């Protein structure tokens, strides 16, 4: 757990290849395998001395632009590299809008639902919506579930397949779907398909493959109602 003031973030104790080293003035200092990154985080609202020595030797820093967007600067990073979380493997890439292709704090959730899947003592079917590069997908599949992985980005789904291969799950019962999540759920309802668990980590804003607009504050209530069906 990392926390200052009223802001708290929980991390799994099982990480070896990821470490949150320090936080200060809207930025987080992190170790991703052998590389040190500085990335912006709007939840880090406190000012303070950035005391960790690694602030001065970061391999990559993401800086936001006053005109919108941003870019990686002081970039000594490779085009891609790999890290592991237990038996799971992930490929990382310095991407747009500060992303690396993985949300490491979600590992606490992977541990939680993996235990539920293993202890169910029956086949478990999971739907992963807004599935991104498949951290939750490979965790659920590794625990024994069959998984339907849905994301609107074809390139991101390709990276999810790469992560499954790195995790030794190329032949696991994972079905990859490039689609708008709401439209997919509506079709599953019409087909009468049911799931034991539904995972979703939706963005605040996004677009589907057909140009569908997703705004969290406008769309989440309807989606929750649909998934409950």
Write out the two tokens for 228: 């409950």
Q: Sorting pLDDT into bands at 50, 70 and 90, what band is 9?
A: low
Order of strands across the sheet that contains 125-129: 174-178, 146-151, 125-129, 197-200
My answer on whether 138 and 51 are in the same domain is no
Mean pLDDT of 149-175: 97
My answer on whether 113 and 72 are in the same domain is no
C-alpha–C-alpha distance, residues 40 and 23, integer Å: 10
Mean pLDDT of 188-216: 88
Is the per-residue pLDDT at 97 higher than 60?
yes
User: Cβ contacts of residue 135 below 8 Å, gap of 6+?
Assistant: 88, 90, 102, 103, 106, 107, 110, 163
Please give the tally of structural domains in the chain: 2
Residue range 43-91, pLDDT digits in tens: 899 887 778 999 999 999 999 887 778 899 987 899 999 999 999 999 9
Is the per-residue pLDDT at 2 higher than 60?
no
Does residue 164 fall inside a structural domain?
A: yes
Does residue 85 fall inside a structural domain?
A: no
CA 107 → CA 9, 110, 112, distances in Å?
A: 12, 5, 9
Q: Sorting pLDDT into bands at 50, 70 and 90, what band is 10?
A: low
CA 111 → CA 31, 107, 108, 142, 146, distances in Å?
A: 21, 6, 5, 11, 17
Mean pLDDT computed over every residue of the chain: 91
My answer on whether 116 and 218 are in the same domain is yes
Is the per-residue pLDDT at 5 higher than 90?
no
| CATH code (residue 139) | 3.40.50.150
> Can you give the residue range of the structural domain that contains 52?
2-77
Is the per-residue pLDDT at 4 higher than 50?
no
My answer on whether 43 and 130 are in the same domain is no
């Amino acid at each position: 757990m990392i926390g200052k003031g009223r802001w708290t973030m929980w991390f799994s104790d099982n990480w070896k290849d990821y470490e949150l080293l320090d936080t200060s003035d809207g930025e987080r200092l992190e170790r991703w395998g052998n590389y040190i990154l500085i990335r912006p985080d709007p939840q880090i609202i406190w000012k303070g001395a950035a005391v960790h020595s690694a602030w001065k030797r970061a391999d990559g820093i993401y800086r936001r632009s006053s005109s919108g967007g941003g870019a990686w600067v002081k970039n000594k990073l490779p085009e891609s590299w790999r890290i592991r979380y237990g038996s799971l493997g992930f490929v990382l890439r310095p991407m747009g809008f500060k992303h690396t292709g993985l949300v490491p704090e979600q590992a606490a959730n992977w541990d939680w639902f993996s235990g539920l899947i293993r202890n169910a003592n029956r086949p478990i079917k999971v739907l992963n919506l807004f599935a991104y590069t498949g951290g939750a997908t490979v965790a659920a599949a590794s625990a024994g579930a069959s998984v339907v992985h849905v994301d609107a980005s074809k390139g991101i789904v390709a990276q999810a397949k790469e992560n499954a291969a790195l995790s030794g799950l190329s032949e696991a019962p994972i079905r990859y779907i490039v689609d708008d999540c709401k439209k997919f759920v509506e079709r599953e309802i019409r087909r009468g398909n049911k799931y034991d668990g539904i995972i979703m980590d939706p963005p605040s804003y996004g677009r589907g493959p057909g140009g569908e607009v997703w705004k969290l504050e406008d769309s989440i209530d309807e989606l929750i109602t649909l998934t409950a069906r």
